[in-house]
Structure 1
Amino acid sequence: MSPPVNVTHAELAFHFSMATTSPELDASLVEMGNQVVVREAIKSPFLLYECLAVSARHLSILHPDRQDFFMRQSVQLQTKAIAMFNATESVDESNCVASVLFSSILNRHALIDVLANRDGDFFSFVDRFVQSVLLQKGIRVVSKEAWPQLLESDLRPIMKWATPDRDIGTVGHHCDELRRLISLTAALEPSEKEACRGAIHYLQLAFDSVTNPTPGKSAHQIVYVWGIFLPDVFCALLKAHRPEAIAVMAWYAVLLHQSRDNWQVGDAGVFMLNSIGDFLGPEWAHWLEWPFAMLRDGLH
């Protein structure tokens, strides 16, 4: 008797592409990435299951009439992928490429889910966002441990392309008013202000990359990895729902809105900024003048 074929899993496998999980990749890197993913997924089932999971997530957007079905598939496959990865004893030369691919795809998948989830109140949204940031930070640890091996692997071109130029100075002035407000507030301790300034630094780097893209880099890449670089103290402020940290998120909402054509983002920027405005209330309106002006004026 011939073994059964799971047609759904075949559909998900045929649909998967690095262009789906990372639409900002250029065509040559997509082709190379697809080849590496196929090779590594066969050896490391946790990567295979996560590829199927994010493929199902994308199909849930493309086919609204089958949205519930594909969403269930996505959750089930992602849960299985995480369990398999957690059962892996260590990240070493034999599985470092698969582990980093898995972690980066899972990170993007988690962010997609957070941005799309409108259940509950704004507190719930912020809590889910913080959880996704902690996941991103875990990915950074995996990548750091495996970095020497990755630079010798087939993944080297994508890793170099995807790594933001974090050490360069900022040139734009999109966040000047936000920096000023953070400096003036009496509600934050010096260490908390410094953490906010760290988060703002990467926001300005992101605005700079959109305004003046670096050749060979994606203008929107840092939008998806901003959470990796957030200081722990800033994450704690977010977790505590401190209004100053929530206000910083308004600038991130503008960046998301600039990426609204990406299926992974959609109207998340508008939703986030409106939710922040409702949460902070009229007394914080002067903090949010610039973000709301950017959305109102079409980001010009």
Structure 2
Amino acid sequence: MELMAHYTFAVSNPEIDPDLDRAATKMVVQTALDFPWLLHEILAISSRHLAFASPGRAAFYRAQASQLQTQALHLFNRRGEDDGSGIDETNCAAAVLFSSTLGRHLLADTLEDLHRRGTTDDGNDMSEESRKYDSEAALDRYCGYLQVHHGLRAVASSSWPHLMESDLWPLIALAGRIHTPRSSVRGTELRELSRWVETEAFGNTTTTTTTTAGLRDDEERRACLEAIDLLQIGLDESSLATGKSTLSSALPRSSRQAQQHQMTFTWPVRCPAKLGELIRKRSPPALVTLAHYAVLLHLSRDLWQVGPVAPRFLQVISDVLGTRYDARLAWPRAVVWGG
């Protein structure tokens, strides 16, 4: 009851307009009463937020959140075992809300773990050798999160054909609005990164390649370029866009921040699955691209799911890459580390 009383839609989606939060909360709770797996997950993220809001009982609430999340996944994976039903018009909205809420919950857990493991138990910085070892492990944990989140994306994707007829469509359209109008004038923060990926990072592109290696390079290049384009969308909606002659800069600051925060949460899952594979293989272009995601995390640091993790996130990638790519990390370091 405590967790239910604490839950609001803004707990999982803190960027939502406060005027819409009450109606959104009512619709989600009403839906959750019909789907135990969604009910368990909204209770889980409510407990996870209380762990942040009540530091004195953080361990208790974090344990509750973990147990409820595990039960939510168990119930979701068992859905339809008795009657053979899958995702249809009766449960599609609940499935999208479940995948979205669980995805944000997993990201919060992953980022907090990454931030917490950046220091020793007494709060001091790790030695360089220990930090390098820990950074490799931290990157592996982040790759595990990407793999699970892409699985949730598959669930959500199977639901979209049914959503237009759902009573919750207006809410879902609002909460998941990530394709926003953009002018022809775009930010230039990532122009040099795109040029490097396009022309240098994967070798010469001036000749047509038909070998297996060439085709593989093209696929990997496209994955990085798509991820960079999504990052630029988030940056164009952020505070960094102030003063630019873009369509988004004419919007109220709160609206721009909401759209930028949405990209902070959705970038990991909207990127091609190939990018996650490249990160697992420690591909330098993919890691350099991931390092620039730290800027979005930095700009969303006031959200409880993100917090002050960006410097640590960037340090992890820097440790894994080594010094060879320092020049490629100059801009995100300047933003996140303050130069």
Counterparts of 1:242 and 1:132, CA distance in 2: 18
1:213-228 equivalence runs, <5 A = 218-219=258-259, 220-228=261-269
Corresponding residue of 2:128: none
Match of 1:176 among 182, 191, 206: 191
Can you give the 5+ residue segments of structure 2 that lack an aligned partner in the other structure?
81-85, 118-132, 204-215, 242-247
Can you give the 5+ residue segments of structure 1 that lack an aligned partner in the other structure?
1-9
**Amino acid paired to 1:181:** W
Corresponding residue of 2:292: 251
Indicate the SS of the match to 2:237: helix
Corresponding residue of 1:202: 230
The offset of 1:81, in angstroms, is 0.4
Counterparts of 1:172 and 1:288, CA distance in 2: 18
Cα 1:97/1:170, change in 2 over 3 Å = farther
Match of 1:55 among 37, 46, 52: 46
The offset of 1:158, in angstroms, is 2.6
The offset of 1:113, in angstroms, is 0.6
Corresponding residue of 1:229: 270
1:110 aligns with 2:151: no
Q: Deviations over 1:166-196 (max 9, x none)?
A: 7967711111121122231246823212211
**RMSD in angstroms over aligned alpha carbons?**
2.2
1:1-300 equivalence runs, <5 A = 10-89=1-80, 90-118=86-114, 119=117, 121-161=134-174, 162-165=176-179, 171-182=186-197, 183-186=199-202, 189-210=217-238, 211=241, 212=248, 218-219=258-259, 220-297=261-338
The offset of 1:286, in angstroms, is 0.3
**Amino acid paired to 2:77:** N
Q: Deviations over 1:67-106 (max 9, x none)?
A: 1111111111100000000001211222222211111100
The offset of 1:294, in angstroms, is 1.4
The offset of 1:235, in angstroms, is 1.5
Indicate the SS of the match to 2:165: coil
TM-score, length-scaled by structure 2? 0.79
Contact 2:89 2:166 in 1 (8 A): no
Q: Deviations over 1:149-178 (max 9, x none)?
A: 322223222322223117967711111121
**Amino acid paired to 1:103:** S
Q: Which has the higher contact order (CA 8 A, sep 6+)?
A: 2
Counterparts of 2:6 and 2:194, CA distance in 1: 44
Range 124-133 or range 22-31, more displaced: 124-133
Alignment length (residue pairs)? 289
Cα 1:275/1:245, change in 2 over 3 Å = same
Contact 1:20 1:58 in 2 (8 A): yes
